[in-house]
Structure 1
Amino acid sequence: MSNPGLGGVGLDDNLDDRNTQEVSFKGGKLSLADDVSTFRPNDPKDETIMNVDIPSIRRSNSVCGRPQTNPLPDTIQDCFFAGKKGRMEGAVNDCKQKVLDENDGKVQGVWLLTEIDHWDNEKEKLVMLTEKMLLIIKYDFVVERVKDHKKIMLNSIDTVQFGLFEYPDKTLVHPRDGFGLKLSWGNGQQPSLVQMWNPWSTSVPWMIFTSHPLQHSARDTKTYQIESFKNAVTQAIKAASGNNDLNVNDDPIRFTIHVGLGSAVYNQSRIGFSRERGGISF
């Protein structure tokens, strides 16, 4: 896969931190030894974003979702394979062996988040943050294997944007609730119309994440929350780039989708997540 800021793939076990200088982050921590993996909750001292639930915010010719998302019913949350006992631990160990490279640096934290692509489709992604790289992994929690991944060099990311999701005022799409995080590289380079109209394009110079639906579950909730990831990745980018020219802003993340029937069906069915579906799991 060829993409600005993407690195290679390798096999290595480089998570022993006995001889590596620790970098302090407020985000999620993952401690992995050579023979035992322990998945720990994120630091409860993490800063939180405004804890209010208000009606959709309207601006001129646009509308934003609410800051807070509503929890899914327990019967739906229980269908996510990532929330089943041992699945996250197994996924982290698998990715450590098959995706992590010794040149990526020491792992700083792991999150399970929702990626939102340029067609507004939601996809479950395991996100691993190292000293030098951001690894975005498509992991199948049903069959427990890596399906795809990409690497983005932290020092290539030039913009961190955090805010509500904003849609055109006349859109048929219901505005997405919750906060999003947009990481951009390429110094403001805009994709071509061909790239934007191609739903399978992997060369769009940004990635957008939001919290995973499991954020409302009782176990390790910060592992699934975008606020924890935002704090950690911002500090990691600054450390990797020497604080040079990183643009951090709190602005709404805008989508220009006016119809969006395809993404509405895709997201409502949660096709991008590893789930049980009427006795069939995919």
Structure 2
Amino acid sequence: MGDGVPTDIERHAKGDDDAAATLEVSSFTAGKHSSRVYYRPAGSSIQTEAGEDEDQRQGDEVQNDDTERPPSKQISRRERRSFLALREGALGLVVDACLSTIVTAEDGGHLGTFILSHIDHWDYEKERVFLIMENVLLCAKYDFSKQQVMSAIRLPYYGITKIIRGKFVYPRLGVASKRDGTGLRVHFSCSSPPFWSLLNPWADDIPYWTITSHILRTQYKVPDDRLNIDIFTDKLMSAIYGAFSRLQGDKDPDCTQPEIEEQDVYMDTYMNMTAMLHNGQHMGYYKEKVTS
């Protein structure tokens, strides 16, 4: 398959005032050699993780996961209530909103919905909703306070070139906060990101996503499967297997099915004080403002 150009599809979502608002959904129609990701919905953007291929990293450049870290905290009832994603009925509203605004017939059946953390190439983590469909993976920015889909991006399974799962590692000489848990990196291009894009926190041509469990799972041990990256990975791979079985039988016998590679997920971040503040204060998550 040759290079292709992603296509923007306009959908509509209802706001709180019941007025129709335009929602841009970026759709990856490019093949396995696509080298550019386009995603710029009005008023928001999703950044994706950047860096070089992990097999090019030298062992002495990274900090292993053996670093001593503070123990996981137990979330209080007050803290739990502040995360709007855990409100009763929130997931049902998310699914209904996505199915009615961004899902198309070509996406296939709905197989599962997860609320996870997306980490961009500057180490900012943001709350995102992932819908596993029969033919595509949908990543949506959902405003839990307004109960509205703000933006979304569609990734067909045939556009995925590689999937990496492992522990997060950071540069040995860096001062960035280390990250616990398992990471999943989904590549949709064989190309490396442009150098200047790595220096741009708003770059939209980073050719892979980095995803991990929701912070409520990694830091506060909330036992909810919808926040778990491992369960998400199992369902995603099951969906990919099914999609490629249909592709090889019906459309493209030359499709190469991606497999999971078990290796460290390298985070190419040496120092970003604003990201440390952003992540430490959970600014990438929809929370209720609790007053004392």
- Into which bin does the TM-score normalised by the smaller protein fall? 0.7 to 0.9
In the alignment, structure 1 residue 124 sits paired with structure 2 residue 120? no
Deviation digits for residues 93-125 of structure 1 (CA, Å, limit 9, x no counterpart): 111111111111111111010001111110000
Per the alignment, in what secondary structure is the counterpart of residue 161 of structure 2? strand
Secondary structure of residue in 2 paired with 1:256:
coil
User: What is the CA distance between 1:248 and its match in structure 2?
Assistant: 2.0
Q: Which residue of 1 aligns with 2:258?
A: 246
Q: 1:91 to 1:185 in 2, by over 3 A?
A: same
Q: Distance in 2 between matches of 1:194 and 1:121?
A: 18
Name 1:145's counterpart in structure 2.
148
- Aligned to 1:217, which of 213, 222, 235? 222
Cα 1:4–1:263 shift into 2, 3 Å: farther
Q: Could you tell me which amino acid in structure 2 is paired with residue 162 of structure 1?
A: R
- The answer to whether the aligner puts 1:106 opposite 2:109 as a matched pair is yes
8 Å CA contact 2:108–2:134 kept in 1: the answer is: yes
Name the amino acid aligned to 1:181.
L
Q: Structure 1 residues 202, 140: closer, same or farther in 2, change over 3 A? A: same
Which 5+ residue runs of structure 2 have no aligned equivalent?
Answer: 13-58, 246-254
- Distance in 2 (alpha carbons) for counterparts of 1:226 and 1:5: 27
Residues 141-164 of structure 1: per-residue CA shift (max 9 Å, x gap): 011111111111111101110000
Contact 1:10 1:101 (8 Å CA) reproduced: no
Separation (CA, whole Å) in 2 of partners of 1:5 and 1:181: 23
Q: Structure 2 vs 1, CA of residues 251 and 175 (structure 1 numbering), >3 Å: closer, same or farther? A: same
**Following the alignment from structure 2 to structure 1, what is the Cα–Cα distance between the partners of residues 164 and 148?**
31
Kept in 1: contact 2:84–2:287 (CA 8 A): yes
* Structure 2: distance between partners of 1:103 and 1:64: 42
Percent of aligned positions that are identical: 23
Q: SS where residue 243 of structure 2 aligns?
A: helix
Tell me the secondary structure at the aligned position of residue 109 of structure 1. strand
DSSP-derived class of the 1:118 partner: coil
Asked if residue 165 in structure 1 is aligned to residue 177 in structure 2, the reply is no
- The code of the aligned residue for 1:60 comes to D
Aligned to 1:133: 136
Label 1:72 to 1:157 Cα distance change in 2 as closer, same or farther (>3 A): farther
RMSD: 2.6
Q: Structure 1 residues 141-150 or 70-79, which shifts more?
A: 70-79
Secondary structure, counterpart of 1:208 in structure 2: strand
CA contact (8 A) 1:6 1:151 kept: no
Count of residue correspondences = 229
Partner SS state of residue 285, structure 2: coil
The AA in structure 1 aligned to 2:283 is I
Greater shift after overlay, 257-266 or 235-244? 235-244
Task: Say which SS state the counterpart of residue 112 (structure 1) adopts.
Answer: strand
CA spacing shift, 1:185–1:81, aligned 2, 3 Å = same
Superposed displacement of residue 72, structure 1 = 4.7
Which residue of the partner structure matches residue 229 of structure 1?
232
Q: TM-score, normalised by structure 2?
A: 0.72
Letter paired with 1:237: I
1:262 aligned counterpart, secondary structure: helix
Distance in 2, Cα, partners of 1:103 & 1:146:
20
Question: 2-side partners of 1:86 and 1:174: how far apart?
Answer: 34
Give me the whole-angstrom Cα distance separating, in 1, the residues matched to 2:8 and 2:229. 24
Give the SS at the match of 1:164: strand
Matched, 1:202 2:204: yes
Find the counterpart in structure 2 of residue 258 from structure 1.
Answer: 270
Distance 1:233 1:8, change over 3 A: farther
The CA distance in 1 between the partners of 2:113 and 2:151, in whole Å, is 17
| TM-score scaled by length of structure 1 | 0.74
CA distance in 2 between counterparts of 1:132 and 1:83 reads 28
Whole-angstrom distance in 2 between the partners of 1:114 and 1:6: 25
Question: Structure 1 counterpart of 2:84, which letter?
Answer: F
User: Which one-letter code corresponds to 1:229 in the other structure?
Assistant: F
